[in-house]
Structure 1
């Protein structure tokens, strides 16, 4: 291949890649029930169409020794050495709201991906996959009920 042609192809690829990876902020909101206990630990994460862990969106709760109680997330993300980089904050009190934003590629929408949230509170039952929200344009803004600690969870495309 000639040098000018390879340069043109390389430049075209570099210019095309950002368009393929274009993403947008997704705002995730989880409203907790008044469950009568200590602050909840929550792990919000993304899975693909096969239920395979893709990445952690947020972990609420600062003590790593309790992360094992977020059992689905802990098991699925165990091989991800960077699962906590820049995505942790305080636990969320009963009746309070967690609001976080994550950048997700547009290609993930309507492609079988899910946002999942595991929940646990001290001296109470753990709730793996407390909420599972299919990442579809149709689900944007639609509240999904939780099983034990979360009243509702929604995501908004921004």
Structure 2
């Protein structure tokens, strides 16, 4: 009898936890994000895509290109915000290969609704081995009037465009 009660409680707790996870995941909208890299020569670029506040302070990582954690410190602002607070455990789920000069990559980004029209922005930070670091290669304000605009980069990224996914 105790086993049945424990099993029932375990199932109920699991169901409650899953419902919270689902509720949180529906509070964001999917966007197709296209990153067009500049034509540069050299190694692939490590890129961190983060939500930042109006003062350019790190809030959350949405995606990281570059899966060798030996090079994460080259993304200086992102690394400073993540290395000491154990947030790196989630990077495996959002990382991908580096992007090379001239490459175009299209991928999904889930942007939490809480950041839209509230003064937040997406910051694309980039670094290439034996080249300079770009703390703000691209910055895209997260507001409904400009989020779909093509935004030019000022380093390894030529431009970025976001399109709401259907």
Which interval holds the TM-score relative to the shorter structure?
Answer: 0.7 to 0.9
5+ residue gaps in structure 2? 1-18
**Paired position in structure 2 for 1:126:** 133
SS at the partner of 1:58? Answer: strand
Runs of 4+ in 1 over 3 A off after TM superposition: none
Distance apart, 1:157 and its partner CA? 2.2
Is 1:73 the equivalent of 2:110?
no
Task: Identify the structure with the greater helix proportion.
Answer: 2
Distance apart, 1:30 and its partner CA? 1.4
Q: TM-score normalized by structure 2?
A: 0.76
Q: TM-score normalized by structure 1?
A: 0.80
Distance apart, 1:81 and its partner CA? 4.1
Contact 1:140 1:157 in 2 (8 A): no
Task: Count the aligned residue pairs.
Answer: 143
1:68-93 superposed Cα distances (whole Å, 9 cap, x missing partner): 11111111233224441400110111
Distance apart, 1:31 and its partner CA? 0.7
Contact 1:47 1:115 in 2 (8 A): yes
Distance apart, 1:45 and its partner CA? 1.0
SS at the partner of 1:123? Answer: coil
